[in-house]
Structure 1
Amino acid sequence: MNMKYFLNTLSEQFSERPLPIFASESEIVAWNDERRTLFHQAIGIDTYLAAERTPLNVRVTGTIDCGTHTIEKLYYESLPQLYVAGNLYIPKGLTERAPGILYVCGHSQSQKVQYQEHARRFAQLGFVTLIVDTVQYGEVYGEHHGTYARGWFQWVSKGYTPTATEVWNAIRGLDLLSARQDVDATRLGVTGHSGGGSISWWTMCADERVKAIATSSGTGHEASHIRERTLDGHCDCNFPNNPYGWSLTEQYALAAPRPVLILAPDRDYVFQIDSVRQVYDKLYTMYDSAGVGDRMRLLDYRSNHAYTPESRQNVFSWFLCHLAGKSVRPDEIEDFDGVQLEEKQLLAYEGRPPAADRSLTVQDWFIPVAAMEAIDSREGFQTNKTQLIQKLKQDGFRHFPVAMNRAKAEIMQHIWGKVEQGWRLKFTYESEENWKLWGEIRGNHPDMTLPADVQQIRPLAIHLRSTGDEKGEQAFDLMKSATPRWLKARLDPRGTGDTAWGQEQNWHIRRASALLGRTVASMRVWDTLRGIEAQRNLPGVDSKRIVLAGAGEMAVVALYAALLDGGIEAVVLQDAPGTLDAADDGKPNMLFKEVINALRYADLPQTAASLWPTKLVFVGEKDDSYIRTQRSYEALGGVCIHVSKASEIDFDALCT
């Protein structure tokens, strides 16, 4: 199986999954009430929603009188020192509370300046409108491009995408609007273009106060993003963290049954029109089944990735209908009046951003990384270990197939050498549907022929093949010190050996995998678990005396596989990375080590400590972070050793 083909096929399966059919609006509400909490957890705002909201500390730095409305230049703190710059457009002559609009900007360098005409026209139509900068651009330049351009794949292990920050900033923007005496907090809408179109979706999905959205150039499905590789042109903020393997359409459905207007240019290069129409058809069918089909609408129009006068007029008409209770046709609404204020007039910070602005480092702290707690006794250890495994299975390895036949090694080739060379047996095994992987097992005991002929069961050392191990011999080098009584095996997880892909696909494959709720490392963990199961079932293998080894990125795979398997006698980690919380520059030597959400619960040293009572051997470079692992093992009375080279490993001592 080719990985790109696999991801294409999987993305098509995601995109084709139908949505449920409901008999009433109340059934949709009940369905989404159950799912929304999971969505909050997935994107990482659940702890902030559960806690008491911190003060917004709104600071108005200037006011502009525009005749029909005023503009307040302001900024607020969505969390302490997480500053959000914006402009608040307030209609003049309000005699009652007005509906509120939050405009979330797309990826324009000047953001609220670029999109000012939208806020201006909303204010002229009677909406109190807050337009806010994102972390990426505007008056300060933070980061949206972690996995897109920076090689910050540790974001995946944290369960972080900028969706989390932008949705949280938007929620606090809604708090700001709701607290105003001139705003009706029961009539709030959100809109934006491009990245702002995506954040419009995700804000509505996260916050039930949003009564209507108009999302421009922010809708699509996985098959388009992965098969046509539009994903390669997408900023990270377009996609929430997805540990549960939901399709994008299933996530969009969290907006139901509230009014949604989808704006889709037919020449959009990153949100292709066919995918938008397919998403709309599924959503409309669900809405219509519950009798609220009039609340879901698609406007596709001739344009590239941009607004047109027609699309803007439809946005204004949509919100007048669903928030202001006014039936006004789009063509009855005048488009922009052409008034544009200069950038310096609209700057909230006026060139002096607040000191210690945490928006510049939000990716480092928004999702807390689990601290390593000292393990000084066995009391409570097993409970903590069990909880860690459960959390990892739920939030990091949820994609593991739930119903598969017992793994079986299918013998493909017997290779005989001289007596001192012993024999080699090549086999395949099924990891998951359409994935047949290779392995090899060797024996060199003078009395041994093949496993089927062996009367005495023998211990087995398994090494995971690494990327770039062209002939597969590097895997066996680590096991040279094993005595002749040992069986030695190599497993080829996907992406190695015959299933390797070219380096030019690395970046796309990593991002596409995460979009589908998995990673290369987590898929390799499953491959390893299946390979271990297949070899346990071979005659002559002592299923209770198995050593699992991996080097570099495969050390991470071996570590997680041993933890989840629970029956490994010893784990050998050669040149193991010391943390998941480190960037990858994306060069040929990149390490596929990320696991979705893993850092929320434990980094590699904590996970390694949780292997006890499995024996643990470090070979070669040992990161200083594993000193804590060593201390935990000492406190628990376990075996944790470090050797400088593979020849120093005493395999017989590991499996007495």
Structure 2
Amino acid sequence: MKRFFYPDSPGNMILRLFLILLLHAIPLLFSPLFAQEEDEPEENLDVFWKWVKWNNPGSFLIDHYIKQAEGLHDLREQEIAKLKTKEEWQARQKWVKDKLNELVGPFPEKTPLNPRITGVIKKEDYRIEKVVFESMPGFYVVGCVFVPEKIKKKAPAILNVIGHSQEGFRGEIYQQVYLNLVKKGFIVLAIDPIGQGEDVQFFDPDIGENGFSSVGYSVVEHCYAGNLNFLSGKTLARYFTWDGIRSIDYLVSRKDVDPERIGVTGFSGGGTVTSYVSALDDRVKVSVPCSWSTACRRHTETKGTQDAETNFVGGLKEGISLEDLIEVRAPKPTLMTFTSRDQYLSIQGAREAYQEAKKVYNVYHEPDNIQFIEDDFKHWMTPKIRQKIYKFFMDHLDVEGDPTEEEVQFLSWDELNVTPTGNVIDWLKGENIQSINAKETAPLLKELEVSRKTIPDHLEKTMKKAPEISGYISPEYGDGDPFFNGRYQRDGYSVSRYAIKGEGKYLIPFLLFKPNTGKPSYPAIIYLHPDGKAAEAAPGGQIEEFVRKGYLVAAVDVVGVGECKNTVTRENADDYTGVLIGRSTPGIQAGDIVRVVNYLRHHAQLDHENIGAVGIDEMGIPLLHATAFEPAIKNLTLVGSLISYRSVVMNDLYKIGLVFNSPGYWHPWEIDFSWGIAGVLTGYDLPDLIGCIAPRKVALAGLKNQLLETATDEAINLDMKFPHSVYKYKNASENIKIEEDVNDLGSLVNWCFK
């Protein structure tokens, strides 16, 4: 039978469409088999490009820190597992209390509060007393006392500490809670946290419409001030905690407050402060920390360490974790509240902390005194959580009535404004955290100054304390074979890509630039740039200039820099983890540098007696440590390096570690601490390390002050006095050179190698 083809029939049109689609689909179906890989750039200086195992070098540093933190959590959990009896738990509680006082303190003596009421507002069923008092002389706390009109005798009082809202206790979510508590018969004192509301620390009246912080909103201020405290070996948590403790002093001084019925609550950052105050002040009968952050295993693993005030210097190294802040209170009533989808906190960590805390409450036969509530929501206090807060306080502070949440009329900023200028420091010309920390650091600097008078002893002390404080671990010589990953030939020299084993489970990538002049050996330069090994690696760059002059150059990306720059957390999450575990990023990076030096010492075409180092800007800090610790580095050239940590702590403002975030005054910077070492000024400063390098040659060009401006002659004379005295003592005054600017880096390096 003859078949006819009708091209326009519906069936054939469908067939034609199917064939067309099939023809277009075939290349897509087989493209994985035949498509070429993405072409590698003609000259690619990334060592880990398209690797499988080491495919995320941006996580090297934080992974390394977390691995060490996990080991410390393991040790703590082993100790907790041993606790069976009430007596054993009581011994643990005493140890924790003492350790917290050591880590968060030492606290100052209690001085007169000198409270003043700046205004009173009467509402239908309560009144507001606006109050300012001094937690330390000249250091002010701003708040409002909300007093129910219906009370006829001494009433229970609650201190409400606040999270990171810039408006402080005036935020509506906070008003929702404390106004409901007032309606139920509680006196409430709500205070502005440091850096928020009317307690902005670095206030500039010329910023914005009504003045603002010169460094940014609350989180930025906290980390900015926290870095200053870390350098001095202190924690910002001390100020938050002490303000809370002195706030309780104020409450119990009032005739209308029952001192035996004191509670504390706070949400988010306020939850953190609640946990501190409740752990350290025995007058707190009932504690309700809500959605708060303090380092625990799961939080470190998932969300990462948070603002400076959540981290104690060496806290985890000393065995303190979030759970301890709850357990030390047992058997006093504590309610923990969290949300399951919190974008900042780990709900799993909260659950595990609760399960551990139940053990000590069970030992005390008070299982109902520790409670936990969660709701399925983001970072917030949901109606379900708020309802539980009211009931918990009413049950445990003996307040009768209906715990149901009531509708409240929110108050405006003007109604809750306590100071006439909008900022208590601006109004009363008081102290801020920087000024107090500077005064407390002055004796440490004096101790260093006295110690420096005996040069040999001081150098010995520095060489002992600097590795200990910075967390430097000396590498084993010849630790690990290099991984070679390709070479490029350029005019007159080659560029090779290498990686060697780092301190932990990470690799250190570097580029090796070698002249093709046929010499049997070359002097070598270790080169570090804050923008990474490729920053000056292009033809015509600074590295090529060195190579043309006959140097073998190793341009290194130490962990946290360049190809290994942190890409997975906030700017300071990795470095603040280091603060917790007693390590520092410069200390770890110094170990990376020494590992590269050790590799170069194996290199057949290297003059082993001629290894020098060049550090640009903030990379001068780890390089200075490495050179002091490793005598195989024969000379050092630093360009634009920080002159001292003293200059940061003792001046009003600093700019080192400020990473641009956005234009405007609200959040202009992220605050980085990769340059800092917690506790450094308790044992040494950068000039002391220069003294330890003597009599080896050191060239310093364009030294920077805390504002990253060229250091003045006065600052140079002050900070470089000790290094000069050491070089003179060792009859090597000609081996240290300080220049105001860098006109010819190559000539400066040549001077070091002569």
The 5 Å alignment of 1:238-637 reads: 239-245=310-316, 250-258=321-329, 259-285=333-359, 288=362, 293-324=367-398, 333-336=403-406, 338=408, 344-349=414-419, 354=424, 356-357=426-427, 362-368=432-438, 370=441, 379-388=453-462, 392-395=466-469, 397-398=470-471, 406-408=477-479, 410-413=481-484, 427-439=498-510, 449=520, 461-464=525-528, 466-470=530-534, 473=537, 476=543, 479=546, 489-496=554-561, 498-500=563-565, 505=567, 508-517=570-579, 520-536=585-601, 546-565=611-630, 568-578=633-643, 581=648, 582-583=654-655, 584-587=657-660, 593-597=674-678, 600-601=681-682, 604-605=686-687, 607-609=689-691, 611-619=693-701, 623-624=710-711, 625-636=715-726, 637=728
Query: Distance between the aligned counterparts of 1:237 and 1:415, measured in 2?
Result: 42
Instruction: Check whether the contact 2:495–2:512 (CA below 8 A) recurs between aligned residues.
Output: yes
Displacement, 1:191?
A: 0.3
Q: Deviations over 1:431-474 (max 9, x none)?
A: 22211213466776989647xxxxxxx97543335424427746
Please give the alpha-carbon distance, in whole angstroms, between the structure 2 residues aligned to 1:110 and 1:166.
17
Deviation string 1:84-135 (CA, Å, 9 cap, x unpaired) is 1212245678787654421112344554444345445545655443221223
Q: How does 1:161-240 map to 2 (within 5 A)?
A: 163-180=237-254, 183=257, 185=259, 187-219=261-293, 236=307, 239-240=310-311
Q: Partner of 1:647 in structure 2?
A: 746
CA 1:291 to 1:655, structure 2 compared with 1: closer, same or farther past 3 Å? Answer: farther
TM-aligned CA deviation for residue 626 of structure 1: 3.3
Rounded Cα–Cα distance in structure 2 between residues aligned with 1:13 and 1:408: 20
Unaligned ranges ≥5, structure 2: 1-53, 202-212, 649-653, 662-668, 705-709
Please tell me the residue identity of whatever aligns with 2:113: L
Alpha-carbon distance in structure 2 between the residues aligned to 1:500 and 1:33: 42
Distance 2:356 2:484 in 1: 49
What residue identity is the alignment partner of 2:269? G
CA contact (8 A) 1:98 1:126 kept: yes
Contiguous gaps of at least 5 residues in structure 1: 451-457
Supply the distance in 1 between the matched residues of 2:463 and 2:189 (Cα, whole angstroms). Answer: 44
Q: Which letter maps to 1:575?
A: G
Aligned position for 1:454: none
Bigger CA radius of gyration: 2
1:508 is paired with a residue of what secondary structure?
coil
* CA distance 1:364–1:417, change in 2 (3 Å): closer
1:301/1:640 CA distance change after superposition, 3 Å: same
After TM superposition, give the deviation of residue 538 of structure 1 in Å. Answer: 6.1
Indicate the SS of the match to 1:52: coil
Deviates more, 1:488-497 or 1:81-90: 488-497
* Partner residue, 2:9: none
**Amino acid aligned to 2:700:** F
**Aligned pairs, how many?**
628
Flag the 1:12–1:191 CA change in 2: closer, same or farther, 3 A. Answer: farther
Equivalent AA in structure 2 for residue 577 of structure 1: L
Q: Determine if contact 2:274/2:287 at 8 Å carries over to the other structure.
A: yes
**1:57 offset after TM fit, Å?**
0.9
Deviation (angstroms), 1:173: 0.8
Task: Quote how far apart the aligned CAs of 1:558 are.
Answer: 0.7
SS of 2:244's partner is helix
Cα distance in structure 2, aligned partners of 1:359 and 1:260 = 38
TM-score of the two chains, using structure 2 as the length reference: 0.69
CA–CA separation in structure 2 for the residues paired with 1:608 and 1:506: 34
Q: Per the alignment, do residues 200 and 294 of structure 1 end up closer, same or farther by CA in structure 2, a change over 3 Å counting?
A: same
1:475 & 1:495 partners in 2: Cα distance? Answer: 22
C-alpha displacement at 1:289, in angstroms? 6.5
Distance verdict in 2 for CA 1:556–1:239, change over 3 Å: same
What's the secondary structure of 2:158's corresponding residue?
strand
Question: 2: distance between equivalents of 1:174 and 1:208?
Answer: 11
Distance 2:693 2:526 in 1: 17
Q: Does the Cα contact within 8 Å between 1:344 and 1:350 map onto a contact in 2?
A: no
**Against the structure 1 CA distance between its residues 23 and 351, is the aligned structure 2 distance closer, same or farther, given a 3 Å change threshold?**
same
Residue deviations 1:548-602 (CA, integer Å, cap 9, x gap): 3211221122112223446644322122234553324524999975223256446
Q: Which residue pairs with 1:132 in the alignment?
A: 191
Helix, strand or coil at the partner of 1:368? helix
Task: Give distance in 2, aligned partners of 1:307 and 1:155.
Answer: 27
Q: Against the structure 1 CA distance between its residues 36 and 427, is the aligned structure 2 distance closer, same or farther, given a 3 Å change threshold?
A: farther
Letter in 1 for 2:434: D
Q: C-alpha separation between the residues in 2 aligned to 1:36 and 1:409?
A: 44
- Structure 1 contact 4–509 (Cα < 8 Å) conserved: no
Distance 2:103 2:542 in 1: 37
On the 8 A contact 1:392/1:598 being kept in 2, the answer is no
**Counterpart secondary structure, 2:345:** coil
**Which residue number in structure 1 is paired with residue 46 of structure 2?**
none
Greater Cα shift, 558-567 or 373-382:
373-382
When the two chains are superposed, the root-mean-square deviation of aligned CA atoms in Å is 4.7
- Residues 500, 585 of structure 1: alpha-carbon distance in 2 compared, 3 angstrom cutoff: closer
Task: Give 1:269 deviation, angstroms.
Answer: 3.2
CA-to-partner distance for each residue in 1:124-179, whole Å, 9 max, x for gaps? 65544322122343345445957955897684364277644322211221222344
Match of 2:130 among 65, 69, 73: 73
